[in-house]
Structure 1
Amino acid sequence: MKTFTLGAAALAAPLALAQPALAAPRTFGDPVPVTDTLTFDPIVDARLRWESVDTPARDADAVTLRLRSGFELRHAPSHLSLLAEAEGTLEIGDHFNGLAFVPAKARPAYAIVPDPANVELNRLQVQYRTKQLGLTIGRQRINLDDQRWVGSVAWRQNEQTFDAVRGEATLGPVMADVTYARGQRTIYGHDAGPRTAYDGDFWFLQAGVRQGPVTVKGFAYLLDYDAKEQVGPLAVTLADTQTWGLRATAALPLGKKAKLNLVGSYARQQGWKDNPAHFHADYVNAEAALAAHGFTATGGYEKLGSDTSSGKAIALQTPMATLHKFNGWADLFLTTPAAGLEDVYAGLAKAFPKAKGLTLNVTWHDFHSDIGHVKYGEEWDASVGFKVRKVALLAKYAGYKAKGFGVDTTKFWLEADYAF
């Protein structure tokens, strides 16, 4: 009831307080001056989506509407701000399995689409921000680098946020980013029982330096979940781990109309705290993207390794990542298989900025195990997006062909987004 009341207040606030914007000659949704030093910025983010899933055993058709609404108050002289945001997801129809692990809510006749109905307080944070320093306290969105280790899972209707304290500092070419989180608010919403949120002691540590077009960062992710979270099927994904690694990126201009973007990363993960398993699993990522004349050609390799030194295969896991971004949009590998995962991928994208922001994208994946190099399957992903005024429209496809892992899976999405 407390969460519902806070959420309702955040949803109503922009409607009540944004009225002065109607009388001022400014764009709707712009920050509204309250005083000479204080501004009120309304938040509205709406998404209507249809997701279709086709597998040999089960299908699904999920139509959902998601609304985030709230406000941000900014006080310029003190560099302080207060942000409050509620999130609600409405199920339009019930032909999908949104909470497969909750017996009272499960719909086992349908395939899984993890966008269940939900109303919650998504973010509530106080922030201090200058060009060199940042400090954020409260429930917040955290996206680190490419979100392979920590992200907000923005693709799903219900966002992942963290109850955390985050400090950021930049001094010339040197940066540091340190976060301590006490809770991980998942994408499953308030009806998900123990999977609504995971408690623990989590540290996200980054330090790096930038020299010209090259940036190098060292990182550590130390995850100590409370024992009550590590039960049943969650015991593998929520096991205590420490991951240490290095990430380097470079943006190299090739003449006036071309650019080569390079990414390389290596990390090693092992058991930590109360994890009884003794293992050392490697992470490797190498990617090159050549952009020219509106085209971007991308090729890469990613390995989530596995280790058998303990007598059984234990794979590297990334339970706080924005997993939909990686290893295919069909989401067959949200949990790394015990034998690990190798993903070789290539893609081509084309942007048409003069044609209402039209973008086209197609990507191919070839999946194998790390141990034994067993063929898992192949996947083709494609999308087309464009804008009609302030509404962003998206059509998206994923087709996974199973060889040695999972089942043939086809997914299709139609989506409309509006935000200010």
Structure 2
Amino acid sequence: MKTAQLCKRMTLGLVVATTALGTIAEDMESRLDEVPGNFNLESRLRYEVFDQAGGLDVDGVSHRIRVGYTTPESGGFQGMIEGETLYAWGHGRDLHPADNAGDGTDLNQLWLAYRNEDLGSVKLGRQLYTLDDHRFVGHVGWRQNIQTFDAVTGSIDLIEGLSLKAFFIDAVNTVTDMHNDIEAFGLNAGYALNQNADLVLFYYAIDGSPDAAGSSSDTLGVRLTGKLIQNELTWAYALSAARQWENSGFPGVDFGHDYLSADLSVDLEGVTIGGGVELLGGNGIHGFSTPLATLHKFNGFADVFLGASGSGGLVNGLEDYQLYAGYTFRVGNGIKTRLIHHWFKPWTGSGDYGEELDLVASYQINERFSVLGKYGDYNSDGGSGGVGGSDKTLLTVELNFVY
């Protein structure tokens, strides 16, 4: 009954929101054409269900709206300000396991940038920032409260095909509405080997909490991505490897962890089939961690391993083997779908994690509106190292509006 009532509310909300926002967009477009610079408006209405065996069982509706303004460029300078308001209601409004951002309005972005054709660009302030596949630095765009950084970021194209990016992060504004002081520095050098292959070398140094052993680390890695077109087949691949070691100087804390990932897929006339593996090392005490990443993008939609992999790492590590298939159904503008199956195992130690089946579908209604549904079902085999010991199900349906 509770779910049925919320579904009715969600349907009514979709109708009302679509009509109202469509009218607002038309009115805004006519009024703002004469204003220099660019305004942005984003809205997301979402219904979610979380069900975890022996624990959390909540559902609820949340709405997020972002409004921002970017100045026109003048003499190479440009600025931006953006606010974000989030409201949640329903049984799970304050119990979301990974997105408990609460209600209210926050300053999402406030930055000043300078760009020079010869010298590159630099940006100072609160900002969205991502690198490569978001595995090490990302904005967690899936969450209602997006992740931003108080940072200085810059990039320069040194020679043709070679791009160097650097950042210094002073604080992380998390998806749970926390402001975490941190010192993080990174270098990311990308080189286009040819039109279909790119190589990236990266180094990230994180000085985390002085009270948390294992939260500070240095990471050095390499990433290769590319595609190969063979008649009607398009092959795509991605390979990454990294080494992470402790840098805090904590007495008795000394670790070195490996990271490996590989993915291969083939596309034929809209049908995609692929598989991959991601390995995160652990030693029974600490594990390979990526606290600045878009964690929801990896290791299953149900977010079973999200918390541990972001803070101190999974102590027994993680081996994630996956197969996936995608297809765009030719209905209207096309319904994009993807089915993924994960097999999770610990890198070391006893026990076993489990398996997860994920499904996502999206549809672009028009230029402004899109809908998305996402489902994740994790079935535990007992867990390992205190993680992954309970079954968990996630279901999300949302309406997005972008101006």
Answer whether TM exceeds 0.5 for this pair: yes
Contact 1:33–1:40 (Cα < 8 Å) also in 2: no
Give the direction of change, closer, same or farther, for the CA distance of 1:51–1:250 in structure 2 (3 Å limit). same
In the other structure, the counterpart of 2:39 is 42
User: Among 111, 114, 117, which residue is 2:100 paired with?
Assistant: 114
Match for residue 330 of structure 1 among 292, 302, 309: 302
Q: Distance in 2 between matches of 1:284 and 1:268?
A: 9
CA contact (8 A) 2:209 2:215 kept: no
Does the 8 Å CA contact 2:98/2:176 hold for their aligned counterparts? no
- Aligned partners of 1:98, 1:205: CA distance in 2, in Å? 37
Match of 2:372 in 1: 394
Where do residues 201-350 of structure 1 align in structure 2 (5 Å cutoff)?
Answer: 201-212=183-194, 213-227=196-210, 230=211, 235=212, 239-255=215-231, 257-276=232-251, 277-307=253-283, 312-334=284-306, 335-336=308-309, 337-350=314-327
The corresponding residue for 2:30 is 22
Q: Distance in 2 between matches of 1:136 and 1:113?
A: 28
Counterpart selection for 2:50 from 43, 48, 53:
53
Runs of 4+ in 1 over 6 A off after TM superposition: none
SS in 1 for 2:382: coil
Q: Distance in 2 between matches of 1:270 and 1:298?
A: 32
Which whole-Å deviations, capped at 9, do the CAs of 1:111-164 have from their partners, x for residues lacking one? 665342232100011122366622111101011111011100111100110011
Where 2:140 maps in the other structure, the secondary structure is coil
**Is the contact made by 2:201 and 2:223 (CA closer than 8 Å) also made in structure 1?**
yes
Q: Distance in 2 between matches of 1:286 and 1:47?
A: 33
**Partner residue, 2:345:** 368
Tell me which residue corresponds to 2:18.
none
- In structure 2, the gaps of 5 or more residues are 1-25, 384-388
Alignment-derived partner of residue 162 in structure 1: 149
Checking the alignment, whether the CA contact within 8 Å between 1:198 and 1:225 is kept in structure 2 is: no
* 8 Å contact kept, 1:96–1:112: no
Aligned counterparts of 1:210 and 1:344: Cα–Cα separation in 2: 29
Q: What amino acid does structure 1 have at the position aligned with 2:180?
A: Y
Q: Are 2:399 and 1:416 aligned?
A: yes
Map residues 349-360 of structure 1 onto 2, 5 A cutoff: 349-352=326-329, 355-360=332-337
- Does the 8 Å contact 1:168/1:178 carry over to 2? yes
SS in 1 for 2:242: strand
How has the CA–CA distance of structure 1 residues 340 and 63 changed in structure 2, closer, same or farther, with 3 Å as cutoff? Answer: same
1:125/1:136 contact within 8 Å kept? yes
Unaligned segments of structure 1, at least 5 residues: 1-17, 24-30, 100-110, 190-195
- Give 1:279 shift: 0.5
Question: Counterparts of 1:176 and 1:275 in 2: how far apart (Å)?
Answer: 32
Shift of 1:306: 1.1
State the identity as a percent.
Answer: 30
Q: What SS does the aligned partner of 2:30 have?
A: helix
Equivalent position SS for 2:142: coil
Alpha-carbon distance change, 89 to 341 in structure 1, aligned in 2, over 3 angstroms: same
State how far apart, in whole Å, the 2-side matches of 1:210 and 1:112 are.
37
Instruction: Tell me the SS of whatever aligns to 1:44.
Output: strand
Contact 2:99 2:175 in 1 (8 A): no
Q: Please say if residues 135 and 167 of structure 1, whose CA atoms lie closer than 8 Å, have aligned partners that are also in contact.
A: yes
| 8 Å CA contact retained: 2:342, 2:356 | yes
- Cα deviation for residue 200 of structure 1 reads 2.3
Q: Which residue of 1 aligns with 2:166?
A: 178
Q: Give a deviation string over 1:256-275, Cα, whole Å, max 9, x none.
A: x4311111111011111344
Contact 2:99 2:144 in 1 (8 A): no
Letter in 2 for 1:71: Y
- The residue type paired with residue 45 of structure 1 is E
Distance 1:346 1:96 in 2: 34
In 1, the alpha carbon distance for the partners of 2:92 and 2:182 equals: 35
Match in the other structure for 2:12: none
Q: What displacement does 1:211 show?
A: 1.5
| Equivalent residue number for residue 147 of structure 1 | 134
C-alpha contact 1:43 1:71 (8 A) present in aligned 2: yes
* Aligned CA distance change for structure 1 residues 95 and 346 (closer, same or farther; 3 Å): same
- The match for 1:383 is 360
SS at match of 2:72: strand
Counterparts of 1:258 and 1:155, CA distance in 2: 31
Q: What are the Cα deviations for residues 302-358 of structure 1, in whole angstroms up to 9, with x where unaligned? A: 001013xxxx53211111110100000000001132110000011111124663231
d(CA) in 1 for partners of 2:136 and 2:350?
24
**Distance change (3 Å), C-alpha of 1:129 and 1:290:** farther
Q: Distance in 2 between matches of 1:224 and 1:115?
A: 25
Tell me the amino acid that sits aligned with residue 66 of structure 1. Answer: R
Count of aligned pairs: 363
C-alpha contact 1:128 1:134 (8 A) present in aligned 2: yes
Q: Deviations over 1:369-420 (max 9, x none)?
A: 0014742100000011112232111111100000022201111111000012
CA pair 258-115 structure 1, distance change in 2 beyond 3 A: farther
CA RMSD, Structure 1 to Structure 2 (Å): 2.2
TM-score normalized with structure 1 length = 0.81
